[in-house]
Structure 1
Amino acid sequence: MKKTLLPVLIAGLFALPAAAFEPFVVKDIRVEGIQRTEAGTVFSYLPVKVGDTLNDDKAAQAIKGLFATGFFKDVRIDVEGQVMVVIVEERAAISSINFVGLKEFEKDAIIKALKEVGIATGRIFDRSLLDKAEQELKRQYLSRGKYAAQITTTVTPLERNRVGINFNIVEGDAAKIRQINIVGAKAFKEKELVSLFDLTTPGWLTWYTKNDQYSRQKLAADQEKLKSFYLDRGYLEFNVESTQVSISPDKRDVFITLNIKEGERFRVASIKLAGDTSIPEADLRKLVSVRPGEVFSREKLNQSTKAITDRLGAEGYAFANVNAAPEINSEKRLVDFTIFIDPGKRVYVRRINVTGNTRTRDEVVRREIRQMESAWYDAEKMQNSRERIDRLGFFSEVTVDTPPVAGTSDQLDVNVNVVEKPTGNLMLGAGTSSTDKLILSGGISQSNFMGSGNNVSIQVNTAKSYRTYSLSYTNPYFTPDGVSQGFDIYHRTTDTSSTNIADYKSSSTGGGIRFGFPISETESFSFGLAADSTSIDTFDESPAYYKKYVKEFGRTNTSFPLTLAWVSDSKNSFFFPSKGTYQRASFEIALPGGDLKYYRAGYQVQQYFPLSKRFTLMLAGEVGYADGYGNSEGLPFFKNYYAGGIGSVRGYKSSTLGTINTLEGEDRLGGNRKVIGNAELLWALPGLENTARLGVFFDAGQVYAAKDKLDAGELRYSAGVTAAWMSPVGPLKFSIGTPLNKKKGDEAETFQFQLGTTF
């Protein structure tokens, strides 16, 4: 049978004369050479069907279409009588992808990235795509500072027209920055300027931060920091003229040189305001922190424009534009500024959308939002709303966007997006004693019970020295206007014979109800009333005045404690605040009618000062005073204060500070007055700002008995390092501390931790 051979290559196809074969009516189509590709796939790309007339043009279109699929590396069309025969040679398929020497990146992440560029098992092998993937992988190594990385790609043919791809990688060591030079600095020391940079030479923590590895993006950010430093100090014409980055021949060391021009130092001559706003100019001028005669500071100028923008935002001008234009007098080294104010249109909120809350009910988030729908937009209320939502402690991230409504110029939507985190905490604590060896306590709390925003807590403690069973419930929105309501039920037993506290045994059972009332956005007042029954047993080794108290007032006493508290919380975050203040003043009194008559008053404060983007200074203090009334024995001894441990003065064992019972032993008696002070320099870990934080601390504190004077010389001091981590089972905090003025009888404890407490 005579066969007419059509072209093998597309180029040859287009060069054939039009009369390569006579057109004919196709009675059948046969496909040969396919192994993995379905015949139906081939038929779908053919412009010819059975019964159609095949000619040169249609044959060319068929070959072109099949090549375009990328499945075949050779396509031919033969004619056998009135049968069209399509002969193909398939491209190889990728059977496997392997890596040798891959350490810097996760294998799964690389596999996913290769898949996005077309290199994956089961797909058609394309050499050009493989070359592209290899170059991208090299680029990723360069971004990690591994300039000596070598990548060799091997393609191995396998049976059934398949190939295996092997990436052989020699990563080498990351190049380190050995030197950073700044040329042209006169007004400031080069060392001071280099200290501004994130990029640095190798140090004790660079193994984690990777800041000793060159990055173009980090260098650009450091140049902006350098520019801001000079502009904040009046050098208005400062400029980085050139930057050189060189690498050593062995590709292990990187050298960075910046050539700068400082220019002259400028002072502010005048500040003018221009623009038409509904806010009096006198009010806006109060927001300008730049003053004529001062050295120019870009930071102050930016603060001024932001303050004006925020002020306009509070009046509903969400899209206000505030810019400062300079007029420079180089001869006199003076600069005049005109702040142009364009408030734009006043806008109102069309809709507030809440997203990301898969477990938490919408109303739990919305009741913290102070901006109302269909009301004028208020930037201050929106900022307050974001902070209130964050302070709930239910979310690891809270973001607020205000996109304009399409087709309008005076409307916007508010999109509140939250990222939920586990709100159930497993609370654990650990410590040691001479007899217990290891004391464990535990509990379970759910601060967002079933997404309602209500708090339910169950605590169980079964250590040898003390045992606690308690149930607490709090509804923060008992009424729609924010009145909270809660109750507590508990049973506690304590046996101090195995602790550092003077020997006695107690058993308390009680319960109470409490209410809270909001005073302002950051302040609240609460009161609670409880009933308590406490039984006390003493031992031969117990202090004499313990025995005397039990003898006078009996073994079992009832009391009705009334608690009043004022709380002010302006922290910008629940777990990891960087600014704001927390204050709490409380007063507890056992009401007449019970067997016990005492009162306790306390005040605690925490202040957070942002030092930079990553560093925060926290100062905290706590004082307490307690006494009895209506009896000669004063404060019941089991209501005394104690100090020492991770919650007060770290580095000392829990409850070991204060008066020692020298007559009956070396046990602690506690006291009716307490003074605690803490200072911490906190550092947010790069990339883990919302989940982990390190710090160094300095603590001071003491408790004083009624007969003791408030002697500052008796304060105990300690210092050390601390770490906090939002772990999957709850917030974890631990410290490594050492006493600074340990005295006879004091007991040190270097490592301490708590899991489940707020910090």
Structure 2
Amino acid sequence: MKIKNLALAVAALYAGSAYALEPFVIKEIRVEGVQRTEPGTVFNYLPVKVGDRLDDDKAAASVKALYATGFFKDVRLEAEDGVLIVAVDERPTIFQININGSKDFDKDQLKKALKDNGLAESLIFDRALLDQATQELKRQYYAKGKYSVDIKATVTPLERNRVAINFDISEGAVATISQINIVGNQAFKEGELLDLFSQTTGGWFSWITKDDQYSKQKLSADLEALRSFYLNRGYLEFNVDSTVVSISPDKKKIYITVNLSEGKRYTVTDIKVGGELLVPEDEVRKLIRIKEGDVFSRELVNESTQSISDRLGNDGYAFANVNAVPELDRDKQTVAFTFFIDPGRRVYVRNINITGNTKTRDEVVRREMRQIEGGWYNASKIRRSKERVDLLGYFEDVNVETPQVPDSPDQVDVNVSVKEKPTGNVMAGIGYARGTGISFQASISQSNIFGSGKYLALGLNTSKSSKLYSISYSDPYYTPDGVSRGFDLYYRKVDPTQLSLGQYNTAGVGSSMRVGLPISEFDTVNFSLGIDRSEITLLTGAPQNYIDFVSAFGSRYTTLPATASWVRDGRDSALYPTRGALRRVESLVALPGGDLRYYTLSAQNQWFYPLSKTFTFMLNAEAGYANGYGGRPLPFFKNLYAGGIGSVRGYGTGTLGLKDSNGDALGGNRKVVANAELLFPIPGLKGDKSARLSVFGDAGSVWGSGDKMSFGDLRYSAGFGLTWVSPVGPLKFSVAKPFNPKDNDKVERFQFQLGTLF
């Protein structure tokens, strides 16, 4: 008895076809036709075994199971004298894949894309997967704007049932956006709307930003930006009717047409609050930013619902739901809103789980958490916890999730997942600052010693005007409640003549201990106490007041400097601030017991205000005062100075104020500096936070102890600036025009600084 070609029509078995067989008991199973596949693999996939009774249904199931493996292109079952013969014809395997003509993509990158689609060396060859993989390669090129790409795939049979696959790629030219048209706009000019788009018809920086290359995902984002623009300006019924994207016959130019309906502009007539009010209605209404009489704004409505949700979240209602339901009057073009509040169930935090910290100890992360285990859920504390962990600087990424505990609707866990980054740093480099000249910097530091969160650094800095060798150590949690403690040891040598700041040299060695006391989430009070031993060497041409001071008090001094400062940092970023303020007040006193008696007071207020998503306005004001006490004058080498980058640009570093007979700045005991700056990204690099431009205006000066402070003494300047956190260090440029320089002022219209000096 034989059953032949059963695999030709599996469905026929279910219909009682001519391939029906007389059932029999399997005495033996024999596999024929395998070359690479082990017979045991076939046995493993077969749904029957020796001793089973084989009938039509089991035969069909056996063929299906073997086909489903993907190993075979033909399967046949035969039976002879109780022996089941499984005859197979194996699919070929892929011996090699060759990619020719690829320039825009690395070949390994393309091979990875092929592998993700099931096409890789040593895998079973499937013609359908080859077609699918070819389309995937085309999509890779389409994403780069190369719509004219041509990909030909050829399959070459090889011995031992193998194949070689060759992809011949003709990449073609990049298709760029030639024209973007907006149809249907009446309230706003087309140019104003096109400025919202990240995709453009090209500009000076398009060769870097690729903003003239079409992307379906970017177009969707641009349309959403267009929708937000209208909805935030009252056009409640705005709609994008259609979007047409066409390509030129040569596939080199893209044309985009957006058809829209603006609708009418709506005004808010009434605001109501409904639902379950666990917070007093007056307090809820204060959180609603949109008011009666305002032009409708989706942004303000969303901010209002979010503020109410956050307020409820602070009381433990983690899953509060707030909906703003509109009531439209199309005839009057007005809308009323009812904010319905559903607080849900109050929940508390069961566990705080920390993952991803392979080196950093759990306690380093946990001590930054403001949410506590067992306490009511508090949204603001959880957000602040994430910010504090992120500010540690030990992690590339910090993610916080608050999933509900299974079968416990009143509990959530706080899952903190981190991705660690190297925290050790070995640095050696050369920097240049206008005024200080070429400098060499080298340091080795570890900001997370043994995963403990403690900081240790060894550094040296040499330049034409100064040399510094230092050791610094800090423990940010010397006590469990966040009191920090640190130590510094240094040797410093300064030659102010290189900066035109006086005919003298100083050399000194010192040490200090620092303590920081946090008094709120944003405020810190710092204290330090140190000892400094310095020596002054006067040079030929030194002014008479320098000579008189050294004659009266000698050239070697032991000083006991003590400092106290208060800092409140409410900026949203230390590197790229766009909102918030930085306030700092500091005092230094040379304590009795040392050879010098003097003190300094300084204050700074820096304020950032976002004018838009790209423009930020910054105001900075600084003031300083210094004097001697106990019958001793202020040492001339402790005078205050102004001028240069970080002060009044356009004037030499530290050169404002009175000069001696050599033209060197004497400094003073009073200083005022003010800066106004408009910060914005480099055109074409809107998303890059490593660099931005500015237009600024500066003012400032210094006065000596016998001088009367007058606005007429202030120096003014204005110009353009560039700040760039480059791979080799912070880089600052400024081009400034001094408005009222005096005859003895040192004017520097172009100034730059590369690298950070110790």
> TM-score with structure 2 length normalisation?
0.89
Q: C-alpha distance in 1, partners of 2:657/2:410?
A: 68
Give the structure 2 partner of residue 359 of structure 1: 359
After superposition, the C-alpha distances for 1:353-401 in whole angstroms (9 at most, x for unaligned) are 2223222222222212111111111112222222222332333333322
SS in 2 for 1:546: helix
Q: C-alpha distance in 2, partners of 1:56/1:235?
A: 69
Q: 8 Å contact 2:470–2:489 — kept in the other structure?
A: yes
Q: 8 Å contact 1:702–1:716 — kept in the other structure?
A: no
User: In the alignment, residue 597 of structure 2 is paired with which amino acid?
Assistant: K
After superposition, the C-alpha distances for 1:239-284 in whole angstroms (9 at most, x for unaligned) are 2222222222222222222222222222211111111222111221
Q: C-alpha distance in 1, partners of 2:28/2:235?
A: 86
Q: C-alpha distance in 1, partners of 2:527/2:38?
A: 78
Instruction: Give how far 1:309 is off.
Output: 1.4
After superposition, the C-alpha distances for 1:455-484 in whole angstroms (9 at most, x for unaligned) are 222221244643222212222222112222
Counterparts of 1:374-413 in structure 2, within 5 Å, are 374-413=374-413
Does the alignment pair 1:640 with 2:639?
A: yes
More displaced stretch, 613-622 vs 483-492: 613-622
User: In the alignment, residue 639 of structure 1 is paired with which amino acid?
Assistant: K
Give the structure 2 partner of residue 7 of structure 1: 5
User: In the alignment, residue 277 of structure 2 is paired with which amino acid?
Assistant: T
Give the structure 2 partner of residue 430 of structure 1: 431
Does the alignment pair 1:683 with 2:684?
A: no
Q: C-alpha distance in 2, partners of 1:313/1:153?
A: 57
SS in 1 for 2:417: strand
Q: C-alpha distance in 2, partners of 1:418/1:405?
A: 21
SS in 2 for 1:326: strand
Q: C-alpha distance in 2, partners of 1:212/1:591?
A: 65
Count of aligned pairs = 745
Q: C-alpha distance in 1, partners of 2:410/2:619?
A: 45
More displaced stretch, 236-245 vs 369-378: 236-245
Does the alignment pair 1:581 with 2:581?
A: yes
After superposition, the C-alpha distances for 1:79-134 in whole angstroms (9 at most, x for unaligned) are 89998776544322112112222233343332222222211111111111010111
Q: For residues 154 and 610 of structure 1, do their structure 2 counterparts lie closer, same or farther at Cα, with a shift above 3 Å needed?
A: farther
Q: 8 Å contact 2:671–2:703 — kept in the other structure?
A: no
Q: 8 Å contact 2:287–2:304 — kept in the other structure?
A: yes
Instruction: Give how far 1:418 is off.
Output: 2.6
Q: 8 Å contact 2:434–2:752 — kept in the other structure?
A: no
Give the structure 2 partner of residue 331 of structure 1: 331
Q: C-alpha distance in 1, partners of 2:284/2:54?
A: 82
After superposition, the C-alpha distances for 1:275-315 in whole angstroms (9 at most, x for unaligned) are 12221112211222222222222222222222211211112
Instruction: Give how far 1:342 is off.
Output: 0.9
Q: From 735, 739, 747, give the equivalent of 1:738.
A: 735
Instruction: Give how far 1:202 is off.
Output: 0.6
Does the alignment pair 1:191 with 2:164?
A: no
Q: For residues 255 and 28 of structure 1, do their structure 2 counterparts lie closer, same or farther at Cα, with a shift above 3 Å needed?
A: closer
Output the aligned Cα RMSD: 3.4
Instruction: Give how far 1:47 is off.
Output: 6.6
Instruction: Give how far 1:592 is off.
Output: 2.1
Q: 8 Å contact 1:618–1:679 — kept in the other structure?
A: yes
Q: For residues 354 and 755 of structure 1, do their structure 2 counterparts lie closer, same or farther at Cα, with a shift above 3 Å needed?
A: farther
User: In the alignment, residue 361 of structure 1 is paired with which amino acid?
Assistant: R
SS in 2 for 1:309: helix
Give the structure 2 partner of residue 540 of structure 1: 540
Instruction: Give how far 1:227 is off.
Output: 2.1
SS in 2 for 1:182: strand
Give the structure 2 partner of residue 695 of structure 1: 693
List alignment gaps of at least 5 residues for structure 1: none
Give the structure 2 partner of residue 289 of structure 1: 289
Counterparts of 1:313-328 in structure 2, within 5 Å, are 313-328=313-328
Q: C-alpha distance in 1, partners of 2:79/2:324?
A: 79
Percent identity over the alignment is 49
Instruction: Give how far 1:599 is off.
Output: 1.3
More displaced stretch, 643-652 vs 734-743: 643-652
Q: C-alpha distance in 2, partners of 1:371/1:362?
A: 15
Q: 8 Å contact 2:648–2:716 — kept in the other structure?
A: no
Q: 8 Å contact 2:431–2:439 — kept in the other structure?
A: yes
Q: C-alpha distance in 1, partners of 2:566/2:225?
A: 43
Q: C-alpha distance in 2, partners of 1:17/1:372?
A: 72
Counterparts of 1:706-725 in structure 2, within 5 Å, are 706=704, 711=712, 713-725=714-726
Give the structure 2 partner of residue 101 of structure 1: 101
Q: C-alpha distance in 2, partners of 1:498/1:475?
A: 37
Q: C-alpha distance in 1, partners of 2:175/2:557?
A: 72
Does the alignment pair 1:552 with 2:552?
A: yes
List alignment gaps of at least 5 residues for structure 2: none
More displaced stretch, 670-679 vs 622-631: 670-679
More displaced stretch, 535-544 vs 667-676: 667-676
Q: For residues 301 and 48 of structure 1, do their structure 2 counterparts lie closer, same or farther at Cα, with a shift above 3 Å needed?
A: closer
User: In the alignment, residue 637 of structure 1 is paired with which amino acid?
Assistant: F
Does the alignment pair 1:200 with 2:197?
A: no
Give the structure 1 partner of residue 563 of structure 2: 563
Q: C-alpha distance in 1, partners of 2:289/2:82?
A: 91
After superposition, the C-alpha distances for 1:62-88 in whole angstroms (9 at most, x for unaligned) are 665544433333456778999877654
Q: C-alpha distance in 1, partners of 2:273/2:47?
A: 72
Give the structure 1 partner of residue 753 of structure 2: 752
Q: For residues 186 and 690 of structure 1, do their structure 2 counterparts lie closer, same or farther at Cα, with a shift above 3 Å needed?
A: closer
Does the alignment pair 1:278 with 2:275?
A: no
Give the structure 2 partner of residue 590 of structure 1: 590
Q: C-alpha distance in 2, partners of 1:395/1:47?
A: 52
Q: 8 Å contact 1:267–1:334 — kept in the other structure?
A: yes
Instruction: Give how far 1:618 is off.
Output: 4.2
Give the structure 1 partner of residue 525 of structure 2: 525
User: In the alignment, residue 720 of structure 1 is paired with which amino acid?
Assistant: G
